[in-house]
Chains A and B, each alone.
Chain A
Amino acid sequence: MPDMRFAPPAPVRIADRASGLNAGRVRSHNERLILSMLLRSGELTRAQIGERSELSGQTVSVLIRSLQQEGLLSEGERMKSRMGPPTVPLTLNPEGAFAVGVDLDPRGASVALVDFLGRARALVASEPDTASIVAAVAERIDALSAARRKRLAGVGLAVPEPPPAYVDLAKLTQMLERETGLDVFVQDDITAAAGGESLYGEAKAHDTYLLFHIGDRVYSMLTLDRQTLRSPRRRSYPHGLLDLEERLQLNGPLTVESLSERAAGDAAKDVVADWIEDCVRVLTERAKSAAELIDFTHIVVSATLPEPLLERICTRLEQDLPGFTVAASGNGPASKAIGAATLPFITRFV
């Protein structure tokens, strides 16, 4: 056996760095750890990364160099220190990776193009059929520059249960893979929304929190120690948007815009206020029963609703739940589409 110390080094990290993302290589646990820390904190110095990860200075140095060369990190503004040379904090490069998220809401499909910091660069509604959705995704991707296209991490689908009748899921996945050449990740929509909230939204700073999603009905999802708890059977509760539409005697599904107009009218004011009370009652009950089993104090509410309405729901809920903080989704009305786009990020980077 030769002395392996003197065998030529294996150029694992550098040789596959030519351009774009490293697809072939399995990302090490420590690299994921550093990316996760930067996602949560926004900006960290090398010393802080070393301290918090308990990795040695040399290990941190090697990992950061490799992530930098892959284009996933950028350097923040140089900070003068009280003594010694200035330090340069590190951040995630917003242009480091992109992903497409598709929300297959029963009430209509939407497509989001999301950057590495979780910002939706584009958000479009799609006609609710398989071919149109594929076309909408392809259009988003074609609109990207060639350099950015190389940095696509994949396509995520947020699928309700049961899947909507307007789409053939197996066919959609297959067509998307063929059309885009990217990996397609499928997840149940509320879990995806919770993932997006943990990574980029209002729950970034919370390991344990309860997410409510007000869709056609009301859904809840508990995240415990950063693990989103998926139950095999989906539970839903009344007084979601279907109920609101019925009360407002709308002919079609409401949109954020149509509801903004309607809710502003005097005739609808009381109807909306009553609906909010009923909806908040359901949320309060669910939160209290969950709190009997698990210790949490943070609640996030996402909904396809105009911002002032969602804020009213949050404020009311906080009144009814002393000791809890309630925040509207950090990802806005597109929380499920952004959640879908985080699926490739979660699988590949964190």
Chain B
Amino acid sequence: MAAELGPGWDVIGEGLSGRTTVHDDPIEGAHKNGRTYLTPCIQSHAPLDLVILMLGTNDLKRRFNQPASEVAMGIGTLIHDIRDFNPGWPGRTPEIFVVAPPPMKDELHEWNSVFAGAPSKSRELALEFEIMADSLEVHFMDAGKIAQSDPRDGFHLGIEAHRAIGLALAEVISAIGWPPLKGVVHA
């Protein structure tokens, strides 16, 4: 994505395996909670032009017992937090971009029990995220239309999928009418 966008952009990757939207993970740890991490994260990188949120799959773990609509509410909470802390340039709120992750495969191998019931819910995420994105007026993309989960574990993204999603994001990002300066966090 950074290569495609060109040198005018500073793209900051902030990915974490197992990150949820708003939950402390009782097994993997409280640090997996996207909400508690997001605030210091965006403040340390401020000022930002754009915040991209691509989360949700980990919220579907059996231990959290969440329907897709509730995961979208988690995303909505993060959007409100970003707006409250407003890490944009003076006088400007950063643009916010919600990306729905590609649906999970039905076969998750050793992860089947952790994600029991999750694959069907994962197919509802895109619609629920889009409804949330529309109602809060933020950008949205369904990455499920661009790439698929890697069949090797059924829910992570392979190199090709990363590449395809990066290129698609770059295209949408550059279509936003931007004033001169830029910088991005990818959470």
Tell yes or no: B43 within 8 A of A by CB. no
Chain A positions within 8 Å of B77 at CB level: 6
Q: Nearest-CB distance from B162 to chain A (Å)? A: 16
Known: A11-B131, A14-B131, A50-B176. A84 touches B139 (CB 8 A): no
Chain A positions within 8 Å of B95 at CB level: 56-58
Q: Interface digits, B108-142 against A, CB 8 Å rule (1 contact, 0 not)?
A: 00000000000000000001001111111111100
Chain A positions within 8 Å of B4 at CB level: 84-85
Please name the residue on chain B nearest to A50 by beta carbon: B177
Known: A84-B5, A88-B171. A46 touches B177 (CB 8 A): yes
Q: Are B76 and A6 in contact (CB under 8 A)?
A: yes
Q: Are A88 and B175 in contact (CB under 8 A)?
A: yes
Contact of A14 among B6, B130, B139, B170 (CB under 8 A): B130
Main SS at interface, chain B: helix
Q: Interface digits, A1-41 against B, CB 8 Å rule (1 contact, 0 not)?
A: 00001101111111000000000000000000000000000
Q: Are A14 and B175 in contact (CB under 8 A)?
A: no
Q: Interface digits, B150-177 against A, CB 8 Å rule (1 contact, 0 not)?
A: 0000000000000000010011101111
Contact of A6 among B8, B73, B127, B131 (CB under 8 A): B73
Known: A6-B76, A6-B77, A85-B170. A57 touches B177 (CB 8 A): yes
Chain B positions within 8 Å of A11 at CB level: 131, 134-135
Q: Are B178 and A8 in contact (CB under 8 A)?
A: no
Q: Are A58 and B175 in contact (CB under 8 A)?
A: no
Instruction: Tell me the bound Cα distance from A210 to B97 in angstroms.
Output: 47
Tell yes or no: A227 within 8 A of B by CB. no
Q: Are A47 and B176 in contact (CB under 8 A)?
A: yes
Tell yes or no: A87 within 8 A of B by CB. yes
Instruction: Tell me the bound Cα distance from A16 to B4 in angstroms.
Output: 36
Chain A positions within 8 Å of B171 at CB level: 85-88
Please name the residue on chain B nearest to A51 by beta carbon: B177
Please name the residue on chain A nearest to B133 by beta carbon: A62
Tell yes or no: A234 within 8 A of B by CB. no
Main SS at interface, chain A: helix
Chain B positions within 8 Å of A85 at CB level: 4-5, 167, 170-171, 174
Contact of A9 among B136, B172, B175 (CB under 8 A): B136
Chain A positions within 8 Å of B133 at CB level: 62
Chain B positions within 8 Å of A88 at CB level: 171, 175
Q: How many residues of B contact A (CB 8 A)?
A: 33
Chain B positions within 8 Å of A50 at CB level: 176-177
Q: Are A9 and B177 in contact (CB under 8 A)?
A: no
Chain A positions within 8 Å of B72 at CB level: 9
Known: A84-B6, A85-B4. A66 touches B134 (CB 8 A): yes
Known: A84-B170, A88-B171. A58 touches B139 (CB 8 A): yes
Residue of A45, A46, A66, A85 contacting most chain B CB atoms (<10 Å): A85
Tell yes or no: B63 within 8 A of A by CB. no
Instruction: Tell me the bound Cα distance from A11 to B80 in angstroms.
Output: 18
Instruction: Tell me the bound Cα distance from A46 to B139 in angstroms.
Output: 12
Instruction: Tell me the bound Cα distance from A229 to B3 in angstroms.
Output: 54
Chain B positions within 8 Å of A13 at CB level: 134
Q: Interface digits, A80-103 against B, CB 8 Å rule (1 contact, 0 not)?
A: 010111111000000000000000
Tell yes or no: A174 within 8 A of B by CB. no
Tell yes or no: B36 within 8 A of A by CB. no
Residue of B4, B131, B140, B170 contacting most chain A CB atoms (<10 Å): B131
Instruction: Tell me the bound Cα distance from A13 to B95 in angstroms.
Output: 21
Contact of B177 among A10, A14, A60, A83 (CB under 8 A): A60
Please name the residue on chain B nearest to A52 by beta carbon: B177
Instruction: Tell me the bound Cα distance from A261 to B80 in angstroms.
Output: 72
Contact of A62 among B6, B127, B137 (CB under 8 A): B137
Known: A46-B177, A50-B176, A87-B171. A59 touches B137 (CB 8 A): yes
Q: Nearest-CB distance from A279 to chain B (Å)? A: 49
Q: Nearest-CB distance from B108 to chain A (Å)? A: 29
Could you name 21 residue pairs across A and B whose Cβ atoms are closer than 8 Å?
A6-B80, A8-B69, A11-B131, A12-B134, A12-B135, A13-B134, A14-B131, A50-B176, A50-B177, A57-B95, A57-B176, A57-B177, A58-B138, A60-B176, A62-B139, A65-B130, A66-B134, A84-B5, A85-B4, A85-B174, A86-B171
Closest 6 pairs (CB-CB, A-B)? A50-B177, A9-B135, A57-B176, A46-B175, A47-B177, A85-B170
* 16 additional A-B residue pairs with CB within 8 Å, beyond A8-B73, A84-B5, A85-B171: A11-B134, A14-B127, A47-B178, A50-B176, A56-B95, A57-B176, A58-B96, A60-B177, A61-B138, A61-B172, A83-B6, A83-B8, A85-B174, A86-B171, A87-B171, A87-B174
